[in-house]
């Protein structure tokens, strides 16, 4: 089955250190991958996406993600973490329906990022 996985429930990082939030995918064909962030009791906010082209994608708030086709991964990264980056992060993939132009977005289980001062 086509899916996206986030292997870590929680990531803890000290402020100022680099951070990585992991995501792997299983998709037939070219993957369309997204990262979102969620703050408590709020909707999701879009961070960045990979469609095609450069494997390193830059997004909002200083985040970037590296697409690796051989490892089927799309890890989210930031060179220097801030306390305000503490939130829930979701990786997602858009899947095309068979025999139609329709598509849906499915999400990983989420990773809680905690940045300590």
Hey, is 20 helix, strand or coil? strand
CA distance 71 to 33: 14
Name which position in 2, 68, 109, 114 contacts another protein (CB under 8 A).
109
What track of x and - describes contact with another protein for positions 35 through 54 (by CB under 8 A)?
-x----xxxxxx--x-x---
**Least CB distance to another protein at residue 64 (A):** 16
Q: 98 or 117, CB closer to another protein?
A: 98
Binding site for another protein (CB under 8 A): 6, 9, 32, 34, 36, 41-46, 49, 51, 90, 94, 96-97, 101-110
């Amino acid at each position: 089955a086509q899916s996206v996985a986030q292997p870590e429930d929680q990531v803890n990082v000290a402020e100022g250190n680099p951070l990585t939030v992991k995501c792997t995918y299983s998709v037939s064909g070219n993957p369309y991958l997204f990262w979102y962030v969620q703050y408590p009791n709020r909707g999701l906010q879009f961070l960045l996406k990979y469609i095609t082209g450069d494997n390193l994608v830059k997004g909002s708030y200083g985040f970037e993600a590296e697409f690796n086709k051989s490892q089927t991964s799309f890890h989210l990264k930031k060179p220097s973490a801030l306390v305000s980056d503490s939130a829930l992060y979701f990786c997602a993939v858009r899947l095309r329906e068979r025999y139609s132009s329709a598509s849906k977005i499915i999400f990983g289980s989420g990773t809680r990022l905690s940045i300590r001062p």
